Amino acid sequence: MLSDNLSFLRDVLPSAQGVSLRESEFRDFELRLRLNSDSAGVSRIDFEDGLVIYAALFTFAHGRSGLKVYDLGSAMGYSTLWLAKALEDACSGPCELTAVEIRPERVEAARAAYRDVAFERVSINFVHGDALKVLEDSEDDRVDVAFVDVQVSLYPRVVELLTRKLLPGGLAMFHNAIRPPPPAETFQLLVKAGWRYAIVPTLEGVLITRRPPS
């Protein structure tokens, strides 16, 4: 639930409807995806976390094109919406968003939900598979942005992969940075790699970090 001090943002968020997310009722689609997840008992990010990743990615992507973004652990597509909306609003040209989920029924639910939603600058690919394996097997070793929402016990391994896959200056965001807390090794690996990070103190926490430019 959106906290009282942020509730005003519901009235100023971009709205979206069915033809293009830019012109349509964003809040209606966000609510539908949220209810889809909740009714199926599927874990998702909170609304506040969505605001955080939207703002971070919008700022990163503004005026850029050709970005390759990964939603690792996308469940039924709720976090995917916030990432897609940020890219749609910020990118100056085509950008790619790959949403990876290990449970096939959740992938199919996400595909069905997005079937009637069009984007002008974002192509979304819903992939069934293990998020870490998909990231590791990505062909061109080019990842501009990654949002991570897999089991927190896997976060150290994700950091290790991102130190190889994330482009210099790239952006990484991790859900559940506070609750449940990731292994301490997660933060130790970031420090060792020279990546500065911050944790936005939402209820569950969002860790934001960038790979230093080369």
Domains of the chain, first to last: 15-210 (3.40.50.150)
How far apart, in Å, are the Cα atoms of 57 and each of 61, 68, 83? 6, 12, 7
pTM, two decimal places: 0.89
What stretches of the chain adopt beta strand conformation (E)? Answer: 68-72, 95-101, 122-128, 143-148, 166-175, 197-200, 206-210
Residues 177 and 161: beta-carbon distance below 8 Å: no
Residue whose tokens read 């199926």: 40
Length of the chain: 214
Which pLDDT score is estimated for 98? 97
Residues 9 and 51: beta-carbon distance below 8 Å: yes
Average pLDDT, rounded, for the chain: 90
**Does residue 13 register a pLDDT over 90?**
no
How far apart, in Å, are the Cα atoms of 209 and each of 6, 30, 65, 89, 140? 23, 26, 21, 22, 22
DSSP 8-state symbol, 72: E
Average pLDDT (84-106) is 97
Residues 155 and 73: beta-carbon distance below 8 Å: no
With bands split at pLDDT 50, 70 and 90, how would you rate the model's confidence at 5? Answer: very low
Which pLDDT score is estimated for 22? 53
**Does residue 11 register a pLDDT over 90?**
no
Return the closest-CA partner of residue 125 out of 83, 64, 157.
83
Residues 24 and 16: beta-carbon distance below 8 Å: yes
Cβ atoms within 10 Å, residue 48: 18
Q: What are the tens digits of pLDDT across the range 111-163?
A: 999 998 889 999 999 999 999 999 998 876 789 999 999 999 999 999 999 99
The continuous run of DSSP H or E covering 109 comes out as helix 104-114
